[in-house]
């Protein structure tokens, strides 16, 4: 059995929820078929028990000790087989559940990475989060129930054949009764499907609301809006609760029907079997077998209704996954190639010389951020790289060669070493050099396990300045051909900033580096400064040259010192 998750889940079929579920099943066809086989043997073992017990009763009635011993041996073999097949069925059920869940997580995360900034524009945070919270479980359940559901159908067919061979009227009752029972349940599935979909949407909206409140809680408290948003959250929460109750109403009716309808069928089979036994048309052993089948049939029949419920939920979940997989990124790419050269933004007039340590000092920070986004191709723009339009390069190549690191970059939970060395290729010396350049050595020294310490989600145990220095170290370890840093020292003190600026210039010597900042301590270490006002280049030169010749630049960069 393969380990999970697999390295590459493949390319999903996102043309519809049914096609997606089919792709999931096809991608794990081997374990799924093996699981169906074991589930079928497990069900058949149970289905044959009443027949064997009935044969043993007839042996007792005939006072045939040898036959009784033989049937007792057969019953023992069936018991052992059921135990073995049950263990394997369960193992494969868990494997298929996990395989479906993992593959769904992998393809959605891969798509989220591909979409980048497009994803939060098209879908709410809650809708995306709900895929990982609940939808993967429903897709896993859909694969799991295929094992027991298929085996249950085969078991019902086997019992029907046995009943037809023993008593055609009883066999016909089961043969006709099962489809009728399933048809009676089917009208409940459509409203269940609709209500579940509505509940999923409301849950996604509620998760988005919670994320917005948590991220902006300090601001809300500052303006006295905490209670207002808490009230809105409470109202939305009640809507989710009411939607959940509406789903539960249909589910409870379906659950009751799963008991009532099979019970009516079983009662009919039992009554008719007893009538035939009174007439002498069947033997005492066959009557006992009919009672056994009457009890046994409840389990596979309930499994079929459970399968209908879980496949419906899986369909709802797959629809959400397909919606994510069907999105296309706003930023596309071409097939051009370029070796390197200057990086130029036509809209602002910014030209970054290769191999230089360049600063973009903007009168308003938003202008610098917009330029950085265009240079990194996170927004559309007339940008060239070595004379080749950046839009003509494959997006993957742009991401590999040009790295934009801003203060919105998150620190994820996990081992700090892995969080900093995201490519997993850095040597111990390269790690030390990056931490030294970022002034982050003291952070590592203070941790109990150093780089092997486990970081909490978003790096909550670190201060804002510590997180900023760790993010800078991570950006340096990526060793990008072009590194664009947005305000990399805004959260550190002046002494640390001067030290980082000096080390950063040396660490990136000979490689293209752009720093968007108005800090004089950083600007004084750069080779070239581009002053931007109103989104357009107004002056260029060294920091000291611009201080002497450009009053607006001087006013912009000395504002921090003042």
Average pLDDT over residues 182-189: 70
Averaged pLDDT score across all residues of the chain = 86
Angle between helices 284-296 and 298-325 (to 10 degrees): 30
Q: CATH assignment of 343-409+471-561?
A: 3.40.50.300
Q: How confident is the model at residue 562 (pLDDT cuts 50, 70, 90)?
A: very low
Tokens representing 118 are 């497009």
pLDDT at 342: 94
Separation of alpha carbons 413 and 461, rounded Å: 11
Q: Which of 494, 498, 471, 491 is nearest to 483 (CA)?
A: 471
Per the model's pLDDT, the better-predicted residue between 549 and 288 turns out to be 549
pLDDT at 208: 63
Handedness of CA 376, 380, 381, 385 (dihedral sign): positive
pLDDT digits (tens, 9 = 90+) for 382-404: 999 999 999 899 988 998 999 99
| Highest-scoring range by mean pLDDT, 262-276, 306-320, 347-361, 387-401 | 347-361
pLDDT digits (tens, 9 = 90+) for 425-448: 899 999 999 999 999 999 999 999
Average pLDDT over residues 309-334: 85
Separation of alpha carbons 534 and 518, rounded Å: 15
pLDDT above 70: residue 490: yes
Three-state secondary structure along 203-231? HHHHHHHHHHHHHCHHHHHHHCCHHHHHH
In the chain, pLDDT over 70 holds for what percent of residues? Answer: 91
pLDDT digits (tens, 9 = 90+) for 518-531: 999 999 999 999 99
3-state SS assignment for residue 541: strand
pLDDT at 217: 52
Q: Output the CA–CA distances (angstroms, integers) from residue 316 to 69, 98, 208, 298, 463, in the order listed.
A: 53, 19, 20, 27, 42
Question: Does domain 17-325 match CATH 1.20.1560.10?
Answer: yes
- Given a contact cutoff of 8 angstroms between Cβ atoms, the answer to whether 477 and 430 are in contact is yes
pLDDT at 455: 86
pLDDT digits (tens, 9 = 90+) for 13-25: 989 999 999 999 9
pLDDT at 185: 67
- Given a contact cutoff of 8 angstroms between Cβ atoms, the answer to whether 269 and 297 are in contact is yes
pLDDT digits (tens, 9 = 90+) for 13-56: 989 999 999 999 999 999 999 999 999 999 998 888 988 898 89
pLDDT at 193: 64
Domain ranges across the chain: 17-325, 343-409+471-561
Q: How confident is the model at residue 226 (pLDDT cuts 50, 70, 90)?
A: low
Q: What phi, psi does 418 have (nearest 5°)?
A: -70, -30
3-state SS assignment for residue 289: helix
Average pLDDT over residues 470-477: 94
| Highest-scoring range by mean pLDDT, 97-101, 154-158, 166-170, 257-261 | 97-101
pLDDT above 60: residue 196: yes
pLDDT digits (tens, 9 = 90+) for 348-379: 999 999 999 999 999 999 999 999 999 999 88
First to last CA, the chain: 67
pLDDT above 80: residue 458: no
Angle between helices 29-61 and 65-115 (to 10 degrees): 160
pTM, full prediction: 0.66
pLDDT at 215: 58
pLDDT above 90: residue 499: yes
pLDDT above 90: residue 284: no
DSSP state of 458: G
Average pLDDT over residues 161-170: 79
DSSP state of 345: E
Q: What phi, psi does 5 have (nearest 5°)?
A: -80, 160
Q: How confident is the model at residue 297 (pLDDT cuts 50, 70, 90)?
A: confident
């Amino acid at each position: 059995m393969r380990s999970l998750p697999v390295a590459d889940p493949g390319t999903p079929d996102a043309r519809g929820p049914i096609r997606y579920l089919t792709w999931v099943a096809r991608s794990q066809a081997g374990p799924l078929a093996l699981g169906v086989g074991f589930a079928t043997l497990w069900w058949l073992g149970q289905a044959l028990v009443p027949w064997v017990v009935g044969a043993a009763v007839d042996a007792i009635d005939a006072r045939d000790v040898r036959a009784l011993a033989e049937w007792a041996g057969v019953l023992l073999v069936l018991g052992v087989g059921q135990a073995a097949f049950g263990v394997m069925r369960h193992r494969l059920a868990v494997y298929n559940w996990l395989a479906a869940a993992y593959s769904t997580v992998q393809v959605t995360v891969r798509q989220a990475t591909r979409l980048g900034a497009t994803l939060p524009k098209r879908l709410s945070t809650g809708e995306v989060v709900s895929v990982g919270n609940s939808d993967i479980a429903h897709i896993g359940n859909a694969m799991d129930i295929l094992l027991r559901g298929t085996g249950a159908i085969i078991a019902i067919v086997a019992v029907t054949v046995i009943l037809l061979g023993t008593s055609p009227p009883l066999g016909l009752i089961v043969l006709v009764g099962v489809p009728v029972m399933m048809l009676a349940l089917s009208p409940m599935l459509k409203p269940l499907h609709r209500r579940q979909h509505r509940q999923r949407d409301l849950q996604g909206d509620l998760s988005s609301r919670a994320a917005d409140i948590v991220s902006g809680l300090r601001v809300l408290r500052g303006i006295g809006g905490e209670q207002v948003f808490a009230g809105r959250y409470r109202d939305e929460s009640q809507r989710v609760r009411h939607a959940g109750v509406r789903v539960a109403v249909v589910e409870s009716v379906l659950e009751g029907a799963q008991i009532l309808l099979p019970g009516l069928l079983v009662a009919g089979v039992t009554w008719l079997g007893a009538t035939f036994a009174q007439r002498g048309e069947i033997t005492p052993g066959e009557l006992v077998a009919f009672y056994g089948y009457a009890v046994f049939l409840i389990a596979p029949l309930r499994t079929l209704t459970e399968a209908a419920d879980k496949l419906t939920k899986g369909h709802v979940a797959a629809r959400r996954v397909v919606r994510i997989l069907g999105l296309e990124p706003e930023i596309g790419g071409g097939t051009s190639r370029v070796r390197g050269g200057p990086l130029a933004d036509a809209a602002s007039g910014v030209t970054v010389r290769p191999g230089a340590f360049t600063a973009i000092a903007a009168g308003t920070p938003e202008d610098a951020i917009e330029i950085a986004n265009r240079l990194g191709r996170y927004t559309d723009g007339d940008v060239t790289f070595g004379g080749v339009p950046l839009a003509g390069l494959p997006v993957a190549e742009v991401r590999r060669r040009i790295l934009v690191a801003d203060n919105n970059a998150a620190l994820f939970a996990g081992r700090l070493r892995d969080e900093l060395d995201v490519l997993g290729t850095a040597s111990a010396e390269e790690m030390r050099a990056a931490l030294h350049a970022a002034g982050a050595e003291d952070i590592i020294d203070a941790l109990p396990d150093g780089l092997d310490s486990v970081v909490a989600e978003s790096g909550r145990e670190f201060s804002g300045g510590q997180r900023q220095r760790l993010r800078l170290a991570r950006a340096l370890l990526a060793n990008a051909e072009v590194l664009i840093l947005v305000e990399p020292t805004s959260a550190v003190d002046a002494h640390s900033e001067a030290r980082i600026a000096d080390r950063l210039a040396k660490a990136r010597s000979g490689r293209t580096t752009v720093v968007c900042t108005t800090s004089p301590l950083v600007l004084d270490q750069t080779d070239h400064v581009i002053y931007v006002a109103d989104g357009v280049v107004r002056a260029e030169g060294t920091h000291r040259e611009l201080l002497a010749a450009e009053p607006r630049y001087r006013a912009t960069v000395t504002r921090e010192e003042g």
